[in-house]
């Protein structure tokens, strides 16, 4: 059974929606990279039981993402935040080279601070650092 690395990402967003046993098995399999046999031995269940838990986890996480799109939207927001940060940097460079506007510098700094606060909130809510 090939490991789906995207599942690890979905676990970051949706693990609270899984049972404790599903969370434990998924963590050991996807994050700790243990084999089905190793997990079975560790948890005192059959290898088939571990496989069944993993399949249920994959199905549940895929369905949650299909319906809620939290991970996809987060990824899109992350890309857009990086683009905004790059634009802020290029505007600052342009200002320093051509305009020399203290007001523009002040406003760009404020936009950058707001972007930083937004990103910090996302990390605190369970997303990865951008």
**CA-CA-CA-CA torsion sign (44, 50, 56, 60):** positive
Comparing 3-7, 12-16, 32-36, 51-55, the range with the smallest average pLDDT is: 3-7
pLDDT higher than 50, residue 130: no
Ramachandran area for residue 33 (φ above 0: left; ψ -120 to 50: alpha; else beta): left
- Please tell me the pTM assigned to this model: 0.74
- With tokens 């650092």, the residue in question is 129
Residue 113 CA, distance from chain mean position: 22
Read off φ and ψ for residue 20, nearest 5 degrees: -60, -40
Tens of pLDDT along 52-111?
Answer: 999 999 999 999 999 999 999 988 998 999 999 999 999 999 999 999 999 999 999 999
Cα–Cα distance for residue pair 129/102, rounded to 1 Å: 31
Cα–Cα distance for residue pair 122/70, rounded to 1 Å: 12
């Amino acid at each position: 059974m090939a490991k789906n690395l995207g599942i690890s990402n979905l676990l970051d967003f949706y693990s609270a929606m899984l049972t404790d046993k599903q969370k434990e098995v998924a963590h050991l399999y996807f994050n700790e990279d243990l084999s089905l046999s190793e997990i079975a031995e560790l948890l005192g269940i059959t290898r088939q039981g571990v496989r069944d838990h993993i399949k249920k986890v994959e199905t549940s996480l895929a369905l949650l993402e299909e319906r809620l799109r939290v991970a996809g939207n987060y990824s899109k927001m992350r890309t857009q935040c990086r683009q905004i940060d790059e634009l802020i940097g290029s505007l600052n460079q342009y200002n320093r080279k051509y305009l020399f506007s203290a007001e523009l510098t002040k406003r760009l700094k404020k936009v950058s601070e707001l972007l930083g606060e937004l990103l910090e909130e996302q990390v605190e809510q369970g997303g990865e650092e951008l």
